A and B are shown apart, each in its own frame.
Chain A
Amino acid sequence: MKEIRVSRTASRGIAIGKAFIVEKISLEPDSYNVFQEDLKNETQKYDEAVSEAVRQLELLAEENDIFGAHLEIVMDAVLTQGVHDKILQQNINVQRALKETAVEWISMFEAMEDEYMRERAADIKDICDRLMRILKGIDHNPFDGISEPVIIVAEDLTPSDTANLNLKYVLGFITQEGGITSHVSIMAKNIGLPALVGVKEILDSVRAEDMIIMDAKAGQILLNPEKSVILKYMKQKKVFDQAEAELVRKSRFPAVTSDGHEVSVCANIGSVEEADALAALHIKGVGLLRSEFLYMESTHFPTEDEQFEAYKAVACRLEEEVTIRTLDIGGDKTLSYFEFEHEENPYLGWRAIRISLEMKEMFRTQIRALLRASVYGPVRIMFPMIIAIEELREARGLVEECKKELRAEDIPFNENIQVGMMIETPASVMCAEEFAKEVDFFSIGTNDLTQYMLAVDRGNKKVAPLYNSFHPAVLKSIQKVIEAGHANGIKVGMCGEFASDEQAVKLLLGMGLDEFSMSAASIPLIKDLIRSYSYQDAKQYADTYRCR
């Protein structure tokens, strides 16, 4: 038996099962030589690979536009000519010819000044990888061959990897790379599977079919344990699973502290489907609906009716509140049908409310859809990334104009719809008192606030350890915003990761936070934690942090 310890963990849970190793497939060309008379044959192999790639891409293009562009590129006459010429002139095999041609094109695009063109290098690489896989006879889906529940062990997993994965057969994830905010961590958290990431020695230590026990909370991995150890962990797992089921069962009760202080605990969601799953967890409110999904999954700016139907579908499913954040793109989120100009500093650039206030027709379309949906449930409108009172007034002004239009058109909406804002910029923290007088609620977005307050890019590995929402500057900001809200009679929520941090809950409760919003899977535990505290205790605890 071998034991591996992991220091930072992203999710909880115990998994016991066989390892399925996701092979990092080598796309290096084979080095076989080709006789002069067989060179023609090699060019034919390329043409056949192109035909197969076209077949694959035509299917994919029906689902996703980007593959339509890949289709054009893979059929490109100059690309084909380049590969053919290399085979015939340098007497090399088709794989080496493809590799050399690919490298030439990729480096040409990578050298371009324009960011968008540089990104096309990734498209060309993807296309050439596809051709190479076909030439080498490598099956496309790395998860083929999983027929029983397994623990997935991989170097790292991208969204396109996990799209191929049948989650029914997954007990847990262990990856060599990645941090607790990586794709795998977030996905595992959302679906409630244990995951351990950044486990440096895992691929060197484990072989396919090895028996693994992973305890994600303890950060422990046991390889090829003895029977007695497996039995012990099976018992622990049973206890854990029962406790989880108990948490979900108790989740129907409100989040009230032992001394009677009630807060609301809501879900963050990013699609209509996610709203469906909330009832089973006894979740009655949505503290953050990211409206971007409507824009990012579409081939055009979604129409008023398309948006209305989606918002209505969510509003109908919830009793307490559905807080819908208006479009928050830019930064790392872009649209396939709209070209964003290259920016040196996208997070400090043209994004979120800044885009909405400039593209007014698009913004009005969204506001009208939100207002119309407000008849069907407790819809609230929330603006992201506000830094100035003028922005807030302009956005609210548009809401009023849209209301007027709807009245004139005799279309019903909730006249008293609540309008609030995210607090995620240092500017909005400093001016919280002024903002509080002109909105119906605040919601603190700690992910961006931490990043902006500390000037730390959390996507940058080199500075990632500096990213810390417990930094006094962040905690003081949170306290200041809550006080500003309460002094003006409005409620203050939080929809960043920090709200579901087990270590932070007591502190936030003591600071007076009214609403905790987080991914649905975290809610039963956080609610249970809140019920285990007394508000008086929590307030004293917050005082010791000297945030007031």
Chain B
Amino acid sequence: MVSQTIVVKNKSGLHARPAVEFSKLAAKCKSDITVFFKEKKINPKSVLMIMAAAITCNSEITIECSGETEEEDLKVLVNAIESGLGE
């Protein structure tokens, strides 16, 4: 199991569009993924769960991956968040 903590930079946080992008990426990953935000545990393969978590700009989130492709998957997701999810 690998994990990394990262800061969300999108101006309005992970609202609709970036949430959709993020969930699409997460759904492609083979590992089991959990995102930790405040006290919440979120399944990022669900866009509704990401949106409902109301992750705002400058929030710290922790992404945890476990499975055969955990290293690559974590890297893909962290890169995507860092690059602002296409925004």
Interface residues of A (CB under 8 A from B): 68-69, 72-73, 76-79, 105, 108-109, 112-114, 116-117, 120, 123-124, 339, 341
Contacts and interface: CB of A to CB of B under 8 A. Distances in A.
Contacts of A79: 46, 48
A339 B12 contact: yes
Interface in B19-47: 20, 23-24, 43, 45-47
Residue of A73, A105, A109, A123 with most partner-chain B CB within 10 A: A73
Given A72-B23, A78-B43, A116 B48 contact: no
A127 to B, nearest CB: 10
A225 B8 CA distance: 66
A76 B45 CA distance: 8
Given A76-B47, A117-B15, A341-B12, 8 more contacts: A68-B20, A73-B47, A73-B48, A76-B46, A77-B46, A78-B48, A117-B51, A120-B15
B75 interface: no
A113 to B, nearest CB: 7
B1 interface: no
Contacts of B15: 114, 116-117, 120, 339
B54 A72 contact: no
B16 interface: yes
Interface of B: 11-13, 15-17, 20, 23-24, 43, 45-49, 51-52, 54, 56, 87
Nearest to B43: A78
A6 B54 CA distance: 47
A69 B54 contact: no
B42 to A, nearest CB: 10
B51 A120 contact: yes
B20 A72 contact: yes
Given A108-B52, A112-B54, A69 B16 contact: yes
Nearest to B15: A116
Nearest to B27: A77
Nearest to B56: A114
B16 to A, nearest CB: 5
B47 A72 contact: yes
Nearest to A71: B20
A109 B17 CA distance: 16
A341 B57 CA distance: 11
B16 A113 contact: no
Contacts of B16: 69, 116, 120, 123
B70 to A, nearest CB: 20
Contacts of B52: 105, 108-109
14 contacts: A69-B20, A72-B23, A73-B47, A77-B46, A105-B48, A114-B13, A114-B54, A116-B15, A117-B15, A117-B51, A120-B51, A124-B48, A339-B11, A341-B12
Nearest to B87: A339
A77 B23 CA distance: 11
Contacts of B56: 114
A114 B55 CA distance: 10
Nearest to A108: B52
A121 to B, nearest CB: 10
Nearest to A119: B16
B67 to A, nearest CB: 17
Contacts of A72: 20, 23-24, 47
A442 B80 CA distance: 49
B59 to A, nearest CB: 12
Contacts of A105: 48, 52
B32 to A, nearest CB: 13
A268 B51 CA distance: 40
A195 to B, nearest CB: 35
Contacts of A116: 12, 15-16
Contacts of A109: 51-52
B29 to A, nearest CB: 14
Contact of B46 (A78, A108, A112, A113): A78
Contact of B17 (A69, A114, A117, A124): A69
Contacts of B20: 68-69, 72
Contacts of A77: 45-46
A108 to B, nearest CB: 6
A251 B49 CA distance: 59
A490 to B, nearest CB: 41
Given A69-B16, A72-B24, A339-B15, A113 B47 contact: no
Nearest to A117: B54
Interface core residue of B43, B48, B49 (most chain A CB under 10 Å): B48
Contacts of A69: 16-17, 20
B54 A78 contact: no
Q: Which 5 A-B pairs have the closest CB atoms?
A: A78-B46, A339-B12, A72-B20, A76-B48, A72-B47
A472 to B, nearest CB: 43
Contacts of B24: 72
A89 B52 CA distance: 24
Contacts of A124: 48
A419 to B, nearest CB: 32
Contacts of B12: 114, 116, 339, 341
A224 to B, nearest CB: 49
Most buried by A among B11, B20, B51: B51
A117 B56 CA distance: 11
A95 B23 CA distance: 27
- Report which residue of B15, B23, B46 has the largest number of chain A beta carbons within 10 angstroms of its beta carbon: B46
